[in-house]
């Protein structure tokens, strides 16, 4: 243990010394600050008293210095906070997994509290045998684990007509990415025995809105999960405790929370008025419907309006997220000059299907203004379009499925603003 520690310290010292000697210190004159810095030269209060005992926080929360890393909503967006949405603070996170505590929420009739004991999942319709599963029943089927993103079809929807919301949290934060544990829907459907004429499943939640949606049988039998754990722990109430549907790569509204019923049908059920709302109105007044898959998209999360550059010119880490509902991210390009020159970013890990990918571009910032953009490529060969390109196809009347390239104008003082360039 002790020798291990020494080894590490030696290596780090060697690295710092080495880089200074080579004239390539990453952060310039870092060492010179140490002499007059009381944080280095004086014993600090936290070293003179004892910290909390192990019984202080049975379930830990982020340290108080991080209290601004929270979900936020936009007051004017919806009439009330019950049928509403809030946004993931993607500008302040790194890595790819979204902690449940700050993962965006979207509900049509509020987040309900449903105990495991009261939980029932019914499968009816075109099946050999109608079935009702308790929570305990679900726990007895073989499980799978997968990391997937969930993006609301309305993500970036406020940006169609022009740059509007000032922050990656608000423009792109209707997304989260979690590791789910659950039972494949296929397993449960097989248990009930689907009849040959069945073509769809109609899935419904236990909340007042019920959020009924139809999913084609092909998808239902493919990779849809009936999930009860996220990031290792029980789903949070707001994400559908105790059981939600996970529909990889498809728009968030199909991911039914508090899942209570699966009806096997031979045609799509048009539930309440909500189903018809999830269409995209085109320039000629016609609508795109059943646009379930989320196309490849990316955004620079830092620097961005809520995450300005505070350290002046020199080394700068540009980072962001990329994802595709059609497969894996293979490449992300970043431009500092609004698309004149593109550089290939470094993927923190190879892209995984239908999951968030983290990218980095390490640059030497000259302190001049930048027009920052990122552009995602997925393994189908698809390349994320510019705003202009997307508008040519879809017009200005759409709300849903806006996957265009985002621009941040970074000013010499390090502040960033949401802008549109043509």
- The full DSSP string for 262-326 is EEEESS----TTHHHHS-EE-TTS-EE----BPPPEEEEEESBTTB---S-SEEEEEEEEEE-TT
- The closest alpha carbon to 239, from 221, 226, 251, 255, belongs to 255
211 binds ligand MTE (CB under 6 A): yes
Backbone angles phi, psi at 308, to 5 degrees: -70, 165
3-state secondary structure of 387: helix
> Quick one: which of 249, 252, 325, 353 contacts Co ion (CB under 5 A)?
252
Q: Residue 90: which residues within 8 A CB-CB, separation 6 or more? A: 168, 169, 172, 173, 175, 299, 301, 321
> Which one of the spans 102-110, 318-326, 329-337, 348-356 is the region binding ligand MTE (CB under 6 A)?
102-110
> Which one of the spans 53-61, 218-226, 254-262, 366-374 is the region binding ligand MTE (CB under 6 A)?
254-262
In the complex, least distance from residue 106 CB atom to ligand MTE, rounded to whole angstroms: 4
- The full DSSP string for 267-285 is S----TTHHHHS-EE-TTS
> Quick one: which of 181, 253, 328, 373 contacts ligand MTE (CB under 6 A)?
253
Integer Cα distance of 20 and 27 in angstroms: 10
In the complex, least distance from residue 170 CB atom to ligand MTE, rounded to whole angstroms: 15
> Which one of the spans 16-24, 137-145, 255-263, 397-405 is the region binding ligand MTE (CB under 6 A)?
255-263
> Quick one: which of 114, 138, 152, 321 contacts ligand MTE (CB under 6 A)?
152
Question: How many residues contact Co ion, by CB under 5 A?
Answer: 4
252 binds ligand MTE (CB under 6 A): yes
Binding mask 147-176 for Co ion (x = CB under 5 A): -----x------------------------
Binding mask 24-53 for ligand MTE (x = CB under 6 A): ------------------------------
Integer Cα distance of 307 and 68 in angstroms: 12
Under DSSP, the state recorded for 89 is: -
Question: How many residues contact ligand MTE, by CB under 6 A?
Answer: 21
In the complex, least distance from residue 96 CB atom to ligand MTE, rounded to whole angstroms: 16
180 binds ligand MTE (CB under 6 A): no
- Name the residue whose CB lies closest to ligand MTE: 205
- The closest alpha carbon to 94, from 418, 363, 345, 321, belongs to 321
Query: Within 13 A of 205's CA, how many CA atoms are on the CB side?
Result: 29
- The closest alpha carbon to 192, from 259, 139, 122, 120, belongs to 122
> Which one of the spans 3-11, 105-113, 129-137, 379-387 is the region binding ligand MTE (CB under 6 A)?
105-113
373 binds ligand MTE (CB under 6 A): no
- State the residues that interact with ligand MTE by CB under 6 A: 103-108, 150, 152, 176, 205, 207, 209, 211, 238-239, 252-253, 255-258
* Residue ranges binding Co ion (CB under 5 A): 106, 152, 252-253
């Amino acid at each position: 243990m002790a020798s291990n520690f020494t080894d590490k310290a030696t290596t780090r010292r060697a690295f710092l010394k080495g880089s200074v000697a080579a004239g390539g210190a990453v952060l310039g004159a870092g060492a010179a600050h140490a002499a007059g810095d009381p944080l280095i030269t004086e014993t600090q209060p936290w070293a003179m008293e004892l910290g909390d005992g192990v019984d202080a926080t049975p379930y830990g929360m982020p340290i108080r210095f991080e209290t601004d890393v929270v979900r936020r909503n936009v007051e004017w967006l919806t009439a009330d906070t019950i049928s509403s949405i809030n946004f993931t603070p993607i500008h302040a996170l790194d890595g790819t997994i979204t902690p449940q505590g700050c993962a965006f929420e979207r509900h049509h009739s509020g987040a309900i509290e449903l105990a495991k004991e009261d939980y029932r999942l019914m499968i009816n319709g075109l099946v050999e045998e109608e079935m009702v599963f308790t929570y305990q029943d679900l726990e007895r089927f073989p499980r799978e684990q997968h990391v997937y993103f969930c993006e609301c079809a309305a993500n970036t929807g406020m940006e169609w007509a022009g740059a509007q919301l000032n922050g990656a949290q608000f423009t792109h934060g209707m997304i989260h990415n979690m590791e789910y544990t659950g039972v494949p829907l296929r397993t449960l459907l097989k248990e009930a025995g689907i009849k040959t004429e069945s073509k769809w499943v109609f899935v419904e939640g236990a909340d007042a809105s019920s959020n009924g949606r139809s999913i084609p049988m092909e998808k239902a039998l493919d990779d849809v999960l009936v999930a009860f754990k996220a990031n290792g722990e029980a789903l949070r109430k707001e994400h559908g405790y105790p059981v939600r549907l996970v529909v990889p790569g498809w728009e968030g509204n199909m991911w039914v929370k508090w899942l209570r019923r699966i009806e096997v049908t031979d045609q799509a059920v048009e539930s309440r008025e909500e189903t018809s709302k999830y269409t995209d109105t085109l320039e000629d007044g016609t609508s795109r419907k059943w646009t379930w898959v989320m196309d490849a998209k990316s955004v620079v999360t830092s620097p961005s309006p809520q995450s300005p550059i505070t350290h002046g010119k020199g080394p700068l880490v540009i980072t962001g997220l990329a994802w595709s509902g059609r497969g894996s991210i293979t490449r992300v390009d970043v431009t500092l000059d609004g698309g004149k020159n593109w550089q290939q970013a470094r993927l923190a890990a190879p892209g995984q299907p239908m999951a968030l990918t983290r990218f980095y571009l390490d640059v030497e910032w000259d302190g001049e203004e930048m027009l920052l953009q990122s552009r995602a490529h997925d393994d189908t060969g698809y390349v994320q379009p510019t705003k202009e390109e997307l508008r040519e196809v879809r017009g200005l009347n759409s709300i849903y499925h806006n996957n265009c390239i985002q621009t941040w104008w970074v000013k010499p003082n390090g502040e960033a603003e949401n802008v549109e360039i043509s």
